Amino acid sequence: MVAQGNISFDEEHVAAIIPPVEGRVMRLLAAPGDHVQAGAALASLYSAEVAGAGAGLSEAHINRVAAEQNLARAERLAADGAGSQRDVIDARTALANARTEEARAGAVLQSLGAPRVAVGLYTLRAPIAG
C-alpha cells in the first residue's frame, strides 16, 4: 500500500531568528542540524550600528572621566581661594550631564543586546531550544 502525504514543521515549535541589528555574518557558531539550547550562540555578526553605539559609549566614558577631573580641579582651586564657587557649580553640572550621557549610551547598547564593551560584534542567539 502506498500513501501520499506532506511533511511540514510543527508551527508551535518554530521560531524566526531575526537580529535586532543589520550586519554581516562573520562566523557561524552552530551548523544546520545541530541541537541547541535556548540562548545558545548561533552566529557572530559585525554590525556598524553596534560599532557606532560602542564608540558613543567610549566617547561618553572619556567625557565623564574628564568632567570628574575638571570638578576635582575646580574644587581644589576654590578651596585654595584661586577659583570661584561658580566654577565648581559649572563643573558639577558638566559632570551630571556627562554621567547622564554615559548612561544613555550604555542603554543604547543594552537595547541592541550588545555587551557594554562592543566593538561592532553582535552574537545572534537561539530564541528557543531545538
Which of 44-53, 108-117, 121-130 is least confident?
Answer: 108-117
The pLDDT of residue 59 is above 90 = yes
Is the distance from CB of 83 to CB of 77 less than 8 angstroms? yes
Supply 71's cell numbers.
570638578
Provide the pLDDT for residue 33.
87
Please state whether the predicted TM-score (pTM) of the whole model is above 0.75: yes
Please name the residues in contact with 104: beta carbons below 8 A apart, sequence gap of 6 or more. Answer: 60
- Which amino acid, one-letter code, is at 81? G
* pLDDT category of residue 15 using cuts at 50, 70 and 90: confident
Whether 64 has a pLDDT exceeding 90, the answer reads yes
* Cα–Cα distance for residue pair 15/129, rounded to 1 Å: 10
pLDDT in tens, 69-123: 999 999 999 999 999 999 999 999 999 999 999 999 999 999 988 887 768 999 9
Q: CB-based contacts of 16: which residues, under 8 Å, 6+ apart?
A: none
| Position 48 pLDDT exceeds 90 | yes
